[in-house]
Structure 1
Amino acid sequence: MKLLAIRRLFHIQRVVIRYRLDDLVFALPMLPWWLRALRLLMPWRWLPRRELALTRGERLRLALQDLGPIFIKFGQLLSTRRDLLPPDIADELAFLQDQVPPFEPAIAVALIEEQLGLKLEQVFTRFDQQALASASIAQVHAARLKSGEEVVVKVIRPGLKPIIRQDLAWLFLLARIAEKASADARRLRPVEVVGDYEKTIFDELDLLREAANTSQLRRNFEDSPLLYVPQVYWDWCRPQVLVSERIYGIPVTDLDALADQRTDMKLLAERGVEIFFTQVFRDSFFHADMHPGNIFVSTRQPWNPQYIAIDCGIVGSLTPEDQDYLARNVMAFFKRDYRKVAQLHIDSGWVPAETKVNEFEAAIRTVCEPIFDKPLKDISFGQLLLRLFQTARRFNMEVQPQLVLLQKTLLNIEGLGRQLYPDLDLWSTALPYLERWMRERHSPKNLLQSMQTQVEQLPHLAGMTRELLERMAQPHHENAPPPWRERQDGRVLRLLGAGLLTGGAVLIASAAAPLTLVAWPAWLMGGAGLYLVIRR
């Protein structure tokens, strides 16, 4: 295993040298002149390479392809951030979305037949040998089931796990070195971030998990005008094979085709934002790999555009506490309530509890005020987040690994929305939704549902009460204790049951302050009954 890891390291170094990626590093304007001069001492720079005839974007794209799925995923994320990248690099990285070179059709057929335990002709009346699309983890082929449905068959690339393990081993090593060498790196918690990414990418290798995610997302948006999710054919799904409905739509990046069918681009961009916030706050289940290669636009009603989402291998979810924190934080940003933003960071544990609110508030104001002087449509939420993180590092802010997927998805959505409609106002699109969500979250209906959930989560209380009632209802037998003892035991049990039921009811009804003056006597009464039962 160590030998394989060393070989992988040499492969990475060879790719960097072959495509002269060091040119991109040394071209960064913030590097001092003496550091740029060091490149002249690198021996490979004196050797001719035909790859130098390629553009810098082509070299970066080909290098990421050669390095494999983890690096391709990184390129996919970068390709959506045209506000951060030069156009020539962004255009080249866009080819990584679904134009990764496919593997041999014969290998795909053998893998599918091995997984299904059947020959292709026993399942499909037609199977296209040429791949319909090919990505970093898998490729898809068009087919038709015996029952007549047009489908796509997704199959995992062979031999991925050893390569991924080697790359992750190096990433973990670099993360540990960074944590030991830099206090700034420790605050970013790189080892935990790499650990989360390890889980995510290995989850993608299990297509049954992706099929379950797809079914859940389809159910969440059933009959929705915003988003369509294809049907999964579970009879033909296996860990390395996924068969789902074939969809027909326009790739979201094909702006010319969308314009030709007179798509309402403003509404399309705004609906992308609405879909994101709906998934995050209403469902707490969001598609976390929403790069352009996974998103299409329906051709049915261009004036009322509907998205089509595929490839649900990576999904994220948030706890109710995370949801509430995010909503309050974003709304505080909207209202320029910097003190509340600072306090929320402290309350949520993003920065240490001993942080001085006044100083943190002043630092946030210094970052935000110049940005908010621009029109809202010109403000990049992604850029704002980056500036805030840089500022918060001075206050020992730690990156929250559970929010890494959410941050990445939000950056994807903003980058995509700006491509579709450059004047997209992410803020004004999101604010009404968040305000409505906050009202509904604290409505009487939701409070009642929350109380019901708490009751359902206390089965031990229900079981204890049922046992008490059954004991109280048992008839007297010859071996039973004397009547006076039975009557005393009955009173003790009634005392215990009444105390537990009353205290439990008050606890549930007053979730915000469970130990109220009303609850204390009930709990004391129940405790006294319990003590007497134990004594007996």
Structure 2
Amino acid sequence: MKISSIPRTWQHLRRYRQILGVLLKYGFDDVVNIVRKDLLLRFGSKLFPRVKGGLDSGMSRGERMRLAAEELGPTFVKMGQILSLRPDIIPPDIASELQKLQDRVTPIPFKKIEEVIRSELKKEPNEVFTELIEEPLAAASIAQVHRATLHNGKSVVLKVQRPGIITTIKVDLEILRDLAQIIYKHTEGILNQNPVSIVEEFDRSIHRELDFLQEGHNIQRFGRMFADDPTVFIPTFYPEVSSPRLLVMDYVEGIKSSRLDEIARVGLDRVIIAKRGARLILRQIFEFGFFHADPHPGNILVIEDNVIAPLDYGMVGYLDEPVIDELGEVLTGIVHKDLRRVLRSFEQLGISHGAGDRESLEADLGDFINRYHEVPLQQLQI
């Protein structure tokens, strides 16, 4: 038998065992049991690792999902981060927990980073940069970030793709797709969402995020969108020294939007920042139909004069006119405390709920609107 005729999953047996082992370790026996029969027929019992007990059963399902994703690495961390933005797919409590996912890893040696930079530039780094700082600003699973200075004196950051990350993600996606197909086969008509569709959507998203040139084009588009807005700072992207694995953009020094004490200490105004942040979001949705899809506090800096500086443009989203119109209806319904209007727009947007859940959804919406409708902006958390 030729190796090419062997299912790819055979070639990924070690990673399969690792994934199943982590699922069992964190108490996801129900998921493993769904796929067990199919995988036993294909691989035999050696696929299933022996795991001595799971974690403390007092942990919530969301906490266990977060810890499992962090242990399994970049593919699963990224998938968890994307799912955390999809309350139409997962419950709010799990989404909230997945928003805490930490995408931090041990930095790789600068020598390897320098090799990637040299390969992508097709020249020596010192021909482009007068200074390249070895100590990373950040080290995540997909990329490592370093400061540098261009020959024209501009202070920039280099986002350098980690060696081997594309292969790692490709293997994980093949396994995820296989597991999703098995789960769908055994749960068709039970789950609200097709797990295969979720994996396919994630596949498209992660591959866009792995293309740093595309991220650079996103930066340029945001720059054009907010060129007339002095309250928003969009860094400059340098395409002439960038590539699919190397992104060069302006260095931005600011304060993370979650550091409220530091924002107050340096004399910035939280109320102004909150208003500008809301306006930034609303313009993206209703004016441009193109939005930053990963706006967590680490990706939003505040700089002098209460200016907002978004970072990390790898994940973006698009909205067509009908969706924008319905989102406008949702916002109008909230402003006027019109729950029926909001629910009607939810249905038009495909945000489904079971017949028995309509009353609880309406109650939750009413509670949300009444809680925040009359609260002064000064008392809201930004």
Task: Provide the TM-score with structure 1 as the length reference.
Answer: 0.56
Of residues 188, 194, 214, the one that matches 2:193 is 188
Q: Tell me the CA shift for residue 188 of structure 1.
A: 1.8
Q: More helix by proportion, 1 or 2? A: 1
Aligned length: 346
| 1:107–1:341 distance in 2 versus 1, CA, 3 Å | same
The alignment status of 1:116 with 2:121, answered yes or no, reads yes
| 1:368–1:346 distance in 2 versus 1, CA, 3 Å | closer
Give 3-state SS (helix, strand or coil) of 2:12's partner: helix
| 1:284–1:266 distance in 2 versus 1, CA, 3 Å | same
1:145-186 CA deviation, whole Å, 9 max, x = no partner?
111111111111111222212222232233333433335555
Who is 1:143 aligned against? 148
Of residues 12, 18, 35, the one that matches 1:11 is 18
Do 1:236 and 1:243's aligned partners in 2 also have CA atoms closer than 8 Å? yes
1:30-78 CA deviation, whole Å, 9 max, x = no partner?
xxxxxxxxxxxx963369xxx99xx999997775344221222245568
Who is 2:232 aligned against? 227
The alignment status of 1:246 with 2:251, answered yes or no, reads yes
Do 2:83 and 2:95's aligned partners in 1 also have CA atoms closer than 8 Å? no
| 1:126–1:216 distance in 2 versus 1, CA, 3 Å | same
Of residues 290, 293, 300, the one that matches 2:298 is 293
| 1:129–1:284 distance in 2 versus 1, CA, 3 Å | same
- What letter corresponds to residue 18 of structure 2 in structure 1? H
Who is 2:133 aligned against? 128
1:181-236 CA deviation, whole Å, 9 max, x = no partner?
33555542332222121111011111110100001001111142432111011210
Q: Tell me the CA shift for residue 276 of structure 1.
A: 1.4
| 1:372–1:73 distance in 2 versus 1, CA, 3 Å | same
CA distance in 1, matches of 2:200, 2:94: 27
1:410-444 CA deviation, whole Å, 9 max, x = no partner?
xxxxxxxxxx987359xxxxxxxxxxxxxxxxxxx
- What letter corresponds to residue 111 of structure 1 in structure 2? V
Who is 1:319 aligned against? 320
- What letter corresponds to residue 199 of structure 1 in structure 2? R
| 1:261–1:4 distance in 2 versus 1, CA, 3 Å | farther
Do 2:80 and 2:98's aligned partners in 1 also have CA atoms closer than 8 Å? no
| 1:58–1:139 distance in 2 versus 1, CA, 3 Å | farther
Do 1:4 and 1:166's aligned partners in 2 also have CA atoms closer than 8 Å? no
Q: How does 1:302-451 map to 2 (within 5 A)?
A: 305-341=306-342, 343-344=344-345, 364-369=358-363, 371-373=365-367, 376-378=370-372, 423-424=380-381
| 1:375–1:334 distance in 2 versus 1, CA, 3 Å | closer
The alignment status of 1:73 with 2:67, answered yes or no, reads no
Do 2:136 and 2:145's aligned partners in 1 also have CA atoms closer than 8 Å? yes
| 1:370–1:201 distance in 2 versus 1, CA, 3 Å | closer
Give 3-state SS (helix, strand or coil) of 2:51's partner: helix
Give 3-state SS (helix, strand or coil) of 2:141's partner: coil
Do 2:242 and 2:248's aligned partners in 1 also have CA atoms closer than 8 Å? yes
Gaps of 5+ in 2: 1-7, 31-48
- What letter corresponds to residue 267 of structure 1 in structure 2? I
Q: Tell me the CA shift for residue 369 of structure 1.
A: 3.5
| 1:373–1:309 distance in 2 versus 1, CA, 3 Å | closer
| 1:335–1:147 distance in 2 versus 1, CA, 3 Å | same
CA distance in 2, matches of 1:375, 1:345: 15
| 1:374–1:282 distance in 2 versus 1, CA, 3 Å | closer
CA distance in 2, matches of 1:179, 1:60: 19
- What letter corresponds to residue 254 of structure 2 in structure 1? G
| 1:44–1:155 distance in 2 versus 1, CA, 3 Å | same
Do 1:297 and 1:306's aligned partners in 2 also have CA atoms closer than 8 Å? yes
| 1:371–1:114 distance in 2 versus 1, CA, 3 Å | closer
Give 3-state SS (helix, strand or coil) of 1:143's partner: strand
| 1:374–1:201 distance in 2 versus 1, CA, 3 Å | closer
Give 3-state SS (helix, strand or coil) of 2:301's partner: strand
Q: Tell me the CA shift for residue 3 of structure 1.
A: 2.4
| 1:90–1:373 distance in 2 versus 1, CA, 3 Å | closer
Who is 1:458 aligned against? none
The alignment status of 1:212 with 2:169, answered yes or no, reads no
Give 3-state SS (helix, strand or coil) of 2:314's partner: coil
Do 2:231 and 2:276's aligned partners in 1 also have CA atoms closer than 8 Å? yes
1:76-100 CA deviation, whole Å, 9 max, x = no partner?
568999x94799x789x46x25x43
- What letter corresponds to residue 368 of structure 1 in structure 2? E
Who is 1:176 aligned against? 181
Rg: which structure is higher? 1
CA distance in 2, matches of 1:119, 1:170: 38
Give 3-state SS (helix, strand or coil) of 2:253's partner: coil
Give 3-state SS (helix, strand or coil) of 1:45's partner: coil
1:114-169 CA deviation, whole Å, 9 max, x = no partner?
11111011111100112111223111110011111111111111112222122222
Bigger shift: residues 195-204 or 246-255: 246-255
Give 3-state SS (helix, strand or coil) of 1:147's partner: coil
Q: How does 1:13-32 map to 2 (within 5 A)?
A: 13-16=20-23, 20-22=25-27
Of residues 168, 172, 178, the one that matches 1:167 is 172
The alignment status of 1:278 with 2:260, answered yes or no, reads no
1:350-370 CA deviation, whole Å, 9 max, x = no partner?
679xxxxxx97x964553246
- What letter corresponds to residue 173 of structure 2 in structure 1? L
Give 3-state SS (helix, strand or coil) of 1:141's partner: strand
| 1:181–1:46 distance in 2 versus 1, CA, 3 Å | closer
Do 1:76 and 1:291's aligned partners in 2 also have CA atoms closer than 8 Å? no
Give 3-state SS (helix, strand or coil) of 2:205's partner: helix
Do 1:221 and 1:227's aligned partners in 2 also have CA atoms closer than 8 Å? yes
Q: Aligned-residue CA RMSD in angstroms?
A: 3.9
Do 1:377 and 1:424's aligned partners in 2 also have CA atoms closer than 8 Å? no
Do 2:23 and 2:29's aligned partners in 1 also have CA atoms closer than 8 Å? no
Who is 1:266 aligned against? 271
Do 2:156 and 2:249's aligned partners in 1 also have CA atoms closer than 8 Å? yes
CA distance in 1, matches of 2:378, 2:140: 27
